[in-house]
Amino acid sequence: MAEEPRYGSYDGAGSRFAPNEAWVLSEDQTKWTEINSIAHAHEVREISKSAFELRFPNAPPLPPEAFKEPRG
């Protein structure tokens, strides 16, 4: 079973990530963009789901393709 994506702060932007996939919120917090998971891993600060929801209360749902296919 796939690992549940974790929550993070990536250079001040909200992010969701797993070992081989990372998505970051746009500056206006209206859309997600997939980024290189290795680069993300070097800079992300993992935060709890509740901290993420407090910092990014209007984050949209992840896109349908997020965390569906094996990566890596």
Give the tens place of pLDDT for each residue, 57-70: 999 999 999 998 76
What would the mean pLDDT of 38-51 be, rounded to a whole number?
A: 97
**pTM for the structure as a whole:** 0.91
- Non-local (6+) Cβ contacts of 4 within 8 A are 18
The sign of the dihedral angle between the CA atoms of 62, 28, 21, 48 is negative
Burial of 29 (0-12, 13-18, 19+ CB in 10 A): middle
Phi-psi category of residue 67: left, alpha or beta, with phi > 0 → left and psi -120 to 50 → alpha: left
Lowest-pLDDT range of 5-19, 20-34, 57-71: 57-71
